[in-house]
Amino acid sequence: MDAEQVSPIAAGAADLELDEAVAAVLRRLLPTVAEQTVAAIIVEVPSYASDLSGQMGTNISAAVEMALAGFLKLASRSRDADPSTPLGPALEAAYALGRGEARSGRSMDALLAAYRVGARVSWREMAGAAAAADMPVATMVKFAELVFAYIDELSAASVAGHTDELSTTGRVRDRYLERLSAQLLAGADADVLVAGAERAGWRVPRTLTAVLLPVAHVRGALSLVPAETLQPREDLPGIDEAEETALLLVPDVDGRDRVRLLRGLVDRNAVVGPARPWTHVRASYLRAVRARHLRRNSGGAPLDTEEHLATLVLDADPEALADLRARALAPLADLRPATRERLAETLRSWLLHHGRREDVAHDLFVHAQTVRYRMGQLRELYGERLDDPRTVLELTLALSAGTGFESSEE
């Protein structure tokens, strides 16, 4: 606390002529005033009722007595005292008290209420003693002003301590949460992650779900997710910083909660990975990253990776898929483009409909006899391989995303 903060009280004390005999009477009264102040706070501020009993009450009583003693020392303007220093210890104590309230998770409401009670009780007792000691009315008025100004300064010091503690704690916790997010994305060991969560004071969920979305849509999306959602701010692995993509690691949004999340993410161009045990959220993140290229076909709707598992599997190794396609469709390679396209299209539908000719005809908008004719051509090209499970599997994979051929007129 800066000494400049006591200057208003010091200035007020300079105009106060407090007789030393009166000051002596007030000093003798301080222990009683302190005890009565603590007793009144216990009654009038319920949240302190248990805290101020026993040793804690004794400590607070001593603190009140010290604060009032510092005030009286200033008010009586002892010759050996710098008028700017007597209140320093009391203000420091008030500042520390505010920080302690923040660390305990309490707001300033209870402490400010306690200050108000203390001001009333202190003034009542000291005013009675001062009147009994024949303090002049003018001095009494000035004394009252100084008492309440002093309480205001103590309150302000505690508010400053409370604010500073919250600010410091918030920054420290943000750093811990950022570190935890980086560890999650790096796939750190479970014991490291548990320790990081404890250090950050972060409530561990059952699952985490990775959600990628443009930075511009983050603020609106945050209103849809739990407060414990992590928002990594460092560079995201595998994503170019120029893309301006943000990541949310959302706790416990599986089942119906996932449906609600997807509904809320409409028009936010989000990619939503799968829910994973929280220590394995890296898997959710990597899948969302791999699925980003599918978003261009989804408009503004959220892309649910759970609805694109087959495509993601096939896209995992594009080169291997190209080799598989070339081998599986090699019997069609020498045909004219239009014929090749029609036969590949028919083969794909035949595989998907398990050889049901009527279903294939309906799918291709052709007559069932046309399907029979084309399948006759395909059996000539493939022979008995069309009855081989391995060949059927390879053809199904090769044609899963379409025929891969460009059609043209024969």
Task: Look up residue 128 and give its two tokens.
Answer: 């009675």
Give the chain's mean pLDDT. 83
The confidence score (pLDDT) of residue 85 equals 52
| Under 8 Å between Cβ of 130 and 28 | no
Question: Are both 13 and 119 inside the same structural domain?
Answer: yes
For the chain, how long is the longest CA-to-CA vector? 124
Q: In terms of DSSP H, where are the helices of 49-136? A: 55-75, 88-103, 109-132
Question: Are both 89 and 109 inside the same structural domain?
Answer: yes
Residue that finishes a domain, picked among 281, 315, 349: 315
| Residue 222 placed within a domain | yes
The confidence score (pLDDT) of residue 105 equals 66
Q: Read off the amino acid at residue 72.
A: L
Which of 298 and 390 is assigned the larger pLDDT? 390
Quote the distance between the C-alpha of residue 102 and its chain's center: 19
Question: Are both 255 and 289 inside the same structural domain?
Answer: yes
The confidence score (pLDDT) of residue 2 equals 46
pLDDT band at residue 3 under the 50/70/90 scheme? very low
Does the structure show a pLDDT above 60 at 216?
A: yes
The confidence score (pLDDT) of residue 277 equals 96
Task: Look up residue 162 and give its two tokens.
Answer: 């409370």
Q: What percent of the chain has pLDDT over 70?
A: 85
Backbone torsion region of residue 187, taken as left when φ is above 0, otherwise alpha when ψ lies between -120 and 50, otherwise beta: left
Q: What distance in Å separates the CA atoms of residue 109 and residue 76, rounded to the nearest whole number?
A: 32
Question: Are both 276 and 331 inside the same structural domain?
Answer: no
Q: What are phi and psi of 105, to 5 degrees?
A: 85, 15
Q: What percent of the chain has pLDDT over 90?
A: 32
The CATH code of the domain that includes 43 is: 1.10.490.10
| Under 8 Å between Cβ of 197 and 190 | no
Does the structure show a pLDDT above 90 at 274?
A: yes
Does the structure show a pLDDT above 90 at 284?
A: yes
- Over residues 286-291, the mean pLDDT reads 93
- Over residues 376-381, the mean pLDDT reads 93
Question: Are both 141 and 250 inside the same structural domain?
Answer: no
The confidence score (pLDDT) of residue 150 equals 80
pLDDT tens string 225-271: 888 899 998 889 888 887 889 999 999 998 889 999 999 898 888 99
**376-381: long-range contacts, CB 8 A cutoff, minimum separation 24:** 377/343, 378/343, 378/346, 378/347, 378/350, 381/331, 381/332, 381/343
Question: In total, how many domains does the chain have?
Answer: 3
Question: Are both 324 and 390 inside the same structural domain?
Answer: yes
- pTM value > 0.85: no
pLDDT band at residue 30 under the 50/70/90 scheme? confident
Residue that finishes a domain, picked among 148, 168, 188: 168
pLDDT tens string 61-88: 777 777 777 777 776 665 444 555 556 7
| Residue 12 placed within a domain | yes
Give the range of the structural domain holding residue 252, as residue numbers without chain letter.
206-315
The confidence score (pLDDT) of residue 281 equals 96
Strand partners, 377: none
Residue 386 burial (C-beta neighbours within 10 Å; 0-12, 13-18, 19+): middle
Residue that finishes a domain, picked among 110, 143, 168: 168
Grouping H, G, I as helix, E, B as strand and the rest as coil, residue 238 is coil
Backbone torsion region of residue 317, taken as left when φ is above 0, otherwise alpha when ψ lies between -120 and 50, otherwise beta: beta
pLDDT band at residue 182 under the 50/70/90 scheme? very high
Q: What distance in Å separates the CA atoms of residue 305 and residue 86, rounded to the nearest whole number?
A: 67
pLDDT tens string 104-124: 767 788 888 888 888 888 888
Question: Are both 82 and 122 inside the same structural domain?
Answer: yes
Give the other-Cβ count within 10 Å of 379's Cβ: 13
What sign has the CA pseudo-torsion 365, 367, 371, 377?
Answer: negative
Does the structure show a pLDDT above 50 at 4?
A: no
The confidence score (pLDDT) of residue 179 equals 92
The confidence score (pLDDT) of residue 6 equals 43
Helix axes 337-352, 389-398, angle to 10 degrees: 120
pLDDT tens string 316-373: 888 888 888 889 999 998 999 999 999 999 999 999 999 899 999 999 999 999 999 9
The confidence score (pLDDT) of residue 5 equals 45
Question: Are both 28 and 148 inside the same structural domain?
Answer: yes
User: DSSP secondary structure string, 162-228?
Assistant: HHHHHHHHHHHHHHHHHHHHHHHHHT--HHHHHHHHHHHTPPP-SEEEEEEEEGGGHHHHHTTS-TT
Question: Are both 216 and 280 inside the same structural domain?
Answer: yes
pLDDT tens string 124-166: 888 888 888 888 888 788 777 877 888 888 888 889 988 888 8
The confidence score (pLDDT) of residue 1 equals 47
Question: Are both 136 and 233 inside the same structural domain?
Answer: no
